[in-house]
Amino acid sequence: MLLTTCFIGGCTKSGPASNTTQKKQKGPIIVTSTTTMLTDLVKIVGGSQVRVQGLMGPGVDPHLYKASSKDLFKLKLADVIFYSGLTLEGKLQAVLETYKKTKKHVYAVTDAIPRTLLIKAGEGHDGTYDPHIWFDASLWARCVDSVIYGLSKVDPKHADDFKRRGADFKKELETLHSWVLESVQPIPAKKRILVTSHDAFGYFGRAYGFQVIGLQGLSTVDQAGLLDVTKLVDFIKEQKVKAIFVETSVNAKALKQISASAGVAIGGELFSDAMGLPGEIDDDGNDKGTYIGMMKYNVLSIVKGLK
């Protein structure tokens, strides 16, 4: 069977692939996704018509992730593959790009976002963009279209179901976006300084009015030097930052040292590049293993720490 390459803009048909696709559609579509946020999104849009295999679990850092032989098997068997893109998946992206050339349905969901809405990466990352788009709920909503499109190309019979569920989830994300804007209001504008382990919250800061400082760069591959640590300690003291935050997918040792040196409290542990365990409920009733629950947990932690 000849395979085709299919992009968001359209597909080029080649070879008798339709019979095989129809046979697979008798059961749920087999989907392989990368990050926990993306796996959650695909499950919501796909519903009972999909069986999702996520490569990365809670606490996993996608920047440093290396594909195992089991992962390659999941990618090979998938009817459709979704990944975030914008180099978030690090070395795994090369593998995904290869599959994009040889498999029919492989999609980077961030392709749905106009590049004018993205934050350009800083020094040392020329020509690339900040990949942490899910921390702006309005941008994450745009990625829903990529999932609707990809699933509908594989299973056109259920396209209306995918569109309906996608539209419903977009409304939930609009509500979430408004909730975040309202929830951060108790923090005075001058006190909205978010210090974290690495620079994952740029879109959050832009969307919800925070100055964001990460010890490491956009990727956890970037290592902070002694000068970076000294500058951050001085900044925290000068600005009288009330609390700083560690991340679940990044080693907390450096931030704890900064906390001690600057005399500032650790305000909590935020989810950055991965969500929590599904069914892990916080004190406010939010499921930290879902995108919406994870966002609410983060926001409430930030507000509590900085207010």
Residue 1 lies in a domain: no
Which amino acid is located at 293 in the chain? G
Residue 96 lies in a domain: yes
- Torsion sign over Cα 111, 115, 118, 123: positive
- Torsion sign over Cα 120, 125, 127, 129: negative
Domain at 256, CATH number: 3.40.50.1980
- Residues 228 and 225: their CA atoms lie apart, in Å, by 5
Judge if 32 and 51 occupy the same domain.
yes
Judge if 171 and 31 occupy the same domain.
yes
Q: What residues does 198 pair with on adjacent strands?
A: 216
Judge if 97 and 164 occupy the same domain.
yes
Judge if 27 and 172 occupy the same domain.
yes
Judge if 148 and 228 occupy the same domain.
no
Report residues of the chain scoring pLDDT below 70: 1-25, 122-127, 217-225
- Residues 3 and 19: their CA atoms lie apart, in Å, by 13
The pLDDT value given to residue 21: 43
Residue 162 lies in a domain: yes
Which amino acid is located at 224 in the chain? A
Judge if 144 and 58 occupy the same domain.
yes
Judge if 143 and 197 occupy the same domain.
no
Judge if 111 and 212 occupy the same domain.
no
The pLDDT value given to residue 227: 79
Taking the model in full, what pTM does it have? 0.87
Judge if 170 and 255 occupy the same domain.
no
The pLDDT value given to residue 11: 41
Judge if 140 and 194 occupy the same domain.
no
The pLDDT value given to residue 127: 65
The pLDDT value given to residue 2: 36
Residue 173 lies in a domain: yes
CA 263 to chain centre: 32
What's the domain range around 84?
A: 6-179
The pLDDT value given to residue 217: 54
Looking at 179, 207, 224, the residue that finishes a domain is 179
Judge if 60 and 98 occupy the same domain.
yes
Judge if 163 and 89 occupy the same domain.
yes
Count the domains in the chain: 2
Residue 88 lies in a domain: yes
Looking at 179, 199, 226, the residue that finishes a domain is 179
Residue 157 lies in a domain: yes
The pLDDT value given to residue 6: 40
Residue 137 lies in a domain: yes
CB 227, CB 219: distance < 8 Å: no
Residue 100 lies in a domain: yes
- What DSSP assignment string belongs to 74-133? HHHH-SEEEE--TTTTTTHHHHHHHHHHHSSBEEEGGGGS-GGGSPBP-TT-TT-B---G
Q: Could you tell me the two tokens for 122?
A: 């800083």
